[in-house]
C-alpha cells in the first residue's frame, strides 16, 4: 500500500489480524496453507481522473447519465407527440420510469454490464429479436390445429415448448426493460455529445497531447465553449481532467480554460438538459435553460461548485500533493492487440446499423463510434497488475508490505523480493476515498482464470457527486 492514509489503515488492520490469531489459523490451531488474498490499499489522490471522466461501458454509463442507486435506475420519458393514444389519455408531459436491475438475477445485465455501450445496444436488439421469433413460433404451434403428421414425439415437443413459454416471456420482459434503459441513456449521451468528451479526456489522460500542450489547451477550450455540447458538469469534468494531465498545461493555462468555460456558459447559457445522474429532472428531450443565454439556478450552482473543485485541485497540484501523470492511463487494443479484430467489430456494427437505417443501433453507430475499439487501463488497474505480476521497478518495489504472520508490524518487502513468491490467486483492491463503477470494471482486466479480483472503496459515487465532494474540500 501507499504511504499516508493507506499506511495508517494498513498498520491498524495488520495489528488487528495479528492480535486475533483465529483470523490467520485454521480450526486445529495450525497456520492455513491455502493461498491468502493480497489486499492492495490505495489512496484516491493517486488518481483523481477516473472518478470524474466519462465512461463507455453500459453499467458505468447508467451510473453517470441516469439516476442510479442500489441497483435501481430512474429516468424521465417524454411521451411521443405523434402517439394518438397518449393524446387521448391526456398523458402527463413527462413519465417517470423506475426499474430494478441486478446482475445476479438478470442474465443480460450480467453478460453486458462491462461491455462498451454500443455493444450492449446491439446485443439487446439481437437477443430481443431471437426471443420474439421463438415466442411467435411457439404461439403458432399452440394456436393452430392438430398436426396430422405429428405422433407421440411431436406432442412431447409441443408440451416442452409450451412449458418453456413463461421462461421465454420473462427473458423478453427483462430485455425490454434494458431496451428502455438503453434508450434513456442514449438520449442523454446523444444530446450531450458525451463521446466527444470521452475521447478528449482519454487523449489527455493517456498522454496523447504531451508533445503539443498548445493544441491540448485549444481543443479543451473549443469544446467547453461550445454551447451545443455537454452540460455544465460535462465541461467542468473535462477541465478537471485537463488540469490533472501532466505536460499539457500550467496553472495559467488551467485558469484560461476555466475562464473560457465560465464566460461561455454565462453569455450563451447551457442548451443541454441536466443529466439524470446529477439529480436533475430535465430529460434529454426537454432542453436546458431556454434561448436567453442565461444560466438556470441549478446550472449556476453546478458551475460554482465546479469552479471551486478546480481551484481546490490547483492548490493540491501546486503543493505536489496529487499525481499529475501523462501515463495515468495506458491504452491497449482490445482482443490482445489485434487491430484487425477491432476494425472488424466496428465495421460489423456499422454494417448492421446500415441495414437498420432507423432505430437505436443506427443512432448509436453514428454517435458512439469513438467508444468502441480500445481498452484503457486505469491507474488502479496498473498498480494491482504490477503487484500481482511482481514486476520490478514498479509499485511492487515501492509499496509497503505487511504480513500478519510476521510479528513487529514491519515492512517485509525485502524478504518477499528475496524469496520465491507464490502466484497471486486472489486480490482485494481497496480505494480510500470515492470509488466508481468505471474503476471497478476496469480492474476486472486483471482477473482471469488464475486470479479473482474484488474491489472496494469508502463509498461508490457518481462523477457529479465526486465533484461536490471536491468542492466541499476547497
pLDDT tens-digit readout, 396-432: 888 999 988 887 778 887 776 667 678 899 999 999 9
CATH number of 5-49+378-473: 3.40.50.1910
Check if the beta carbon of residue 249 is closer than 8 Å to that of residue 326. Answer: no
pLDDT digits (tens, 9 = 90+) for 373-391: 567 889 999 999 999 999 9
Place 92 in a pLDDT band, splitting at 50, 70 and 90: low
- Nearest alpha carbon to residue 182 among 75, 36, 314, 298: 75
pLDDT digits (tens, 9 = 90+) for 201-222: 999 988 888 889 999 999 999 9
CA distance 64 to 53: 10
Cell representation of residue 63: 451510473
Q: Where do the structural domains in the chain lie, given as residue ranges?
A: 5-49+378-473
Decide: helix, strand or coil at residue 73: strand
Please say if the pLDDT value at position 172 is more than 90.
yes
- Nearest alpha carbon to residue 295 among 337, 265, 264, 333: 265
Q: pLDDT at position 423, please?
A: 84
Q: pLDDT at position 215, please?
A: 94
pLDDT digits (tens, 9 = 90+) for 330-352: 765 444 334 344 444 444 544 55
- Nearest alpha carbon to residue 462 among 428, 437, 432: 437
CA distance 118 to 364: 6
Instruction: Report phi then psi at 24, rounded to 5.
Output: -125, 5
The conformation of residue 448, written as its DSSP 8-state character, comes to: B
Strand runs labelled E in 62-139: 67-69, 72-77, 95-100
Place 65 in a pLDDT band, splitting at 50, 70 and 90: very high
Q: pLDDT at position 252, please?
A: 92
Check if the beta carbon of residue 77 is closer than 8 Å to that of residue 184. Answer: yes
CA distance 298 to 464: 13
Mean pLDDT of 81-107: 77
pLDDT digits (tens, 9 = 90+) for 264-273: 999 887 766 6
Q: pLDDT at position 288, please?
A: 45
Kindly write down the DSSP assignment for every residue of 191-204, as one continuous string: HHTHHHHHHHHHHH
Taking the alpha carbons of 334, 339, 340, 345 in that order, is the dihedral positive or negative?
positive
Cell representation of residue 104: 445476479
For the ranges 31-40, 247-256, 420-429, 461-470, the lowest mean pLDDT is seen at 31-40
Taking the alpha carbons of 358, 363, 364, 365 in that order, is the dihedral positive or negative?
positive
CA distance 109 to 309: 34
The fraction of the chain above a pLDDT of 70, given in percent, is: 73
Place 74 in a pLDDT band, splitting at 50, 70 and 90: very high
Q: pLDDT at position 140, please?
A: 81
In 3-state terms the chain splits into helix, strand, coil percentages (rounded to 5) of 55, 10, 35
Q: pLDDT at position 308, please?
A: 97
Amino acid at each position: 500500500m501507499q504511504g499516508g492514509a493507506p499506511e495508517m489503515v494498513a498498520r491498524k488492520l495488520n495489528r488487528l489480524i495479528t492480535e486475533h490469531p483465529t483470523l490467520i489459523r485454521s480450526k486445529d490451531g495450525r497456520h492455513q496453507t491455502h493461498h491468502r488474498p493480497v489486499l492492495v490499499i490505495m489512496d484516491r489522490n493517486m488518481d483523481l481522473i477516473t472518478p470524474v471522466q466519462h465512461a463507455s461501458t453500459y453499467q458505468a454509463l447508467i451510473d453517470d447519465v441516469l439516476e442510479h442507486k442500489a441497483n435501481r435506475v430512474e429516468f424521465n420519458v417524454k411521451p411521443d407527440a405523434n402517439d394518438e393514444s397518449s393524446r387521448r389519455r391526456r398523458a402527463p408531459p413527462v413519465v417517470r420510469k423506475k426499474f430494478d436491475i441486478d446482475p445476479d438475477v438478470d442474465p443480460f445485465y450480467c453478460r453486458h454490464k462491462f461491455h462498451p455501450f454500443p455493444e450492449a445496444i446491439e446485443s439487446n436488439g439481437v437477443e430481443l429479436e431471437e426471443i420474439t421469433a421463438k415466442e411467435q413460433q411457439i404461439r403458432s404451434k399452440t394456436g393452430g390445429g392438430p398436426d396430422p403428421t405429428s405422433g407421440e414425439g411431436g406432442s412431447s415437443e409441443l408440451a416442452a415448448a409450451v412449458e418453456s413459454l413463461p421462461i421465454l416471456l420473462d427473458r423478453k420482459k427483462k430485455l425490454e426493460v434494458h431496451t428502455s434503459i438503453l434508450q434513456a441513456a442514449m438520449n442523454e449521451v446523444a444530446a450531450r455529445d458525451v463521446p466527444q468528451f470521452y475521447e478528449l479526456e482519454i487523449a489527455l489522460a493517456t498522454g496523447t497531447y504531451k508533445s503539443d500542450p498548445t493544441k491540448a489547451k485549444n481543443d479543451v477550450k473549443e469544446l467547453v465553449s461550445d454551447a451545443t455540447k455537454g452540460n455544465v458538469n460535462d465541461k467542468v469534468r473535462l477541465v478537471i481532467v485537463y488540469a490533472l494531465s501532466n505536460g499539457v498545461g500550467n496553472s495559467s493555462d488551467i485558469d484560461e480554460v476555466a475562464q473560457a468555460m465560465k464566460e461561455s456558459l454565462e453569455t450563451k447559457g447551457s442548451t443541454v438538459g441536466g443529466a439524470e445522474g446529477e439529480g436533475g429532472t430535465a430529460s434529454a428531450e426537454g432542453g436546458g435553460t431556454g434561448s436567453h443565454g442565461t444560466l438556470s439556478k441549478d446550472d449556476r450552482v453546478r458551475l460554482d461548485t465546479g469552479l471551486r473543485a478546480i481551484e481546490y485541485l490547483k492548490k493540491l497540484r501546486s503543493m505536489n500533493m496529487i499525481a499529475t501523470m501523462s501515463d495515468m492511463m495506458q491504452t491497449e487494443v482490445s482482443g490482445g492487440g489485434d487491430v484487425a479484430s477491432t476494425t472488424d467489430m466496428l465495421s460489423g456494427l456499422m454494417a448492421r446499423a446500415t441495414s437498420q437505417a432507423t432505430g437505436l443501433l443506427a443512432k448509436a453507430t453514428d454517435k458512439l463510434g469513438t467508444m468502441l475499439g480500445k481498452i484503457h487501463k486505469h491507474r488502479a488497474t496498473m498498480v494491482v497488475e504490477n503487484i500481482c505480476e511482481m514486476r520490478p521497478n514498479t509499485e511492487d518495489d515501492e509499496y509497503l508490505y505487511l504480513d500478519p504472520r510476521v510479528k513487529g508490524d514491519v515492512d517485509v518487502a525485502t524478504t518477499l523480493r528475496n524469496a520465491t513468491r507464490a502466484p497471486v490467486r486472489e486480490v482485494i483492491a481497496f480505494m480510500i476515498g470515492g470509488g466508481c463503477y468505471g474503476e471497478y470494471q476496469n480492474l476486472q482486466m486483471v482477473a482471469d482464470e488464475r486470479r479473482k479480483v474484488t474491489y472496494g472503496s469508502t463509498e461508490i459515487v457518481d462523477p457529479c457527486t465526486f465533484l461536490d465532494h471536491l468542492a466541499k474540500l476547497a
